[in-house]
């Protein structure tokens, strides 16, 4: 989220990255080359990796060789790994001034719908709305007058 915004808007416990399933083993190897070890195995294509400094990288994989069209008309990768939207990683962001690919603003906004809203969701939705002019999704009516800053 903050990569898309180009600035850190709140503290983070980890860095989330998404890779195609065919590159998951390579991502693990690159992390290992930089002294990261598995601290939590979340399945064949996801896990959290940490180093001795305390940095954490949460790796999520998606199968970009297979696409399904959901009831909402949005194409999503599957069936292995997570169901990321096809084209969802078309965003351009920055981390510490370096350009990075990231999830698009539209994907980020859709990923904050369909679940119970909390302070973290409202923070992200508010920034997406303010920065990209995206409409605030249904389910946030009770949040519009609340502050959006995370502690």
Tell me the CATH number at 69. 3.30.460.40
With beta carbons less than 8 A apart as the criterion, state whether 12 and 3 touch.
Answer: no
Angle, vertex CA 1, rays to CA 115 and CA 78, nearest 5:
60
With beta carbons less than 8 A apart as the criterion, state whether 56 and 98 touch.
Answer: no
Tell whether 49 is covered by a domain: yes
* Local confidence band at 149 (pLDDT 50, 70, 90 cut-offs): low
Tell whether 148 is covered by a domain: no
Residue for token pair 């923070």: 123
Tell whether 122 is covered by a domain: no
Tell whether 16 is covered by a domain: yes
* Local confidence band at 150 (pLDDT 50, 70, 90 cut-offs): low
Average pLDDT of the residues of the chain: 87
pLDDT at residue 81 tops 70:
no
Number of structural domains (the chain) is: 1
Tell whether 151 is covered by a domain: no
Residue 12's domain comprises 2-111
Tell whether 85 is covered by a domain: yes
Confidence (pLDDT) at 148: 64
Percent of the chain scored above 90 by pLDDT? 46
Tell whether 137 is covered by a domain: no
CA distances from 92 to 101, 105, 113 (A): 5, 9, 22
Mean pLDDT of 79-88: 68
* Local confidence band at 27 (pLDDT 50, 70, 90 cut-offs): very high
Mean pLDDT of 30-52: 94
Residues 87, 102: Cα–Cα separation, whole Å: 11
Residues 115, 138: Cα–Cα separation, whole Å: 11
Residues 51, 20: Cα–Cα separation, whole Å: 23
* CB contact set of 29 (below 8 Å; sequence gap of 6+): none
**pTM of the entire predicted model:** 0.78
Tell whether 81 is covered by a domain: yes
**pLDDT greater at residue 61 or residue 136:** 136
Give the pLDDT confidence of 111-126 residue by residue, as tens digits.
888 888 999 899 999 9
């Amino acid at each position: 989220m903050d990569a898309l915004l180009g600035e850190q808007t709140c503290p983070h416990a980890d860095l989330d990255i998404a890779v195609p399933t065919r590159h998951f083993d390579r991502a693990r190897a690159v992390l290992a080359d930089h002294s990261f070890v598995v601290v939590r195995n979340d399945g064949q294509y996801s896990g959290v990796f940490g180093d001795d400094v305390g940095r954490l990288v949460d790796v999520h994989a998606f199968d970009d060789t297979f696409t399904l069209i959901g009831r909402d008309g949005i194409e999503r990768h599957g069936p292995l790994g997570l169901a990321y939207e096809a084209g969802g990683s078309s965003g351009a962001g920055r981390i510490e001034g370096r350009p990075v690919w990231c999830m698009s603003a539209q994907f980020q906004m859709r990923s904050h719908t369909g679940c119970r809203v909390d302070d973290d969701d409202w923070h992200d939705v508010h920034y997406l709305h303010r920065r990209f002019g995206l409409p605030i999704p249904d389910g946030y009516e009770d949040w519009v007058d609340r502050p959006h800053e995370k502690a």
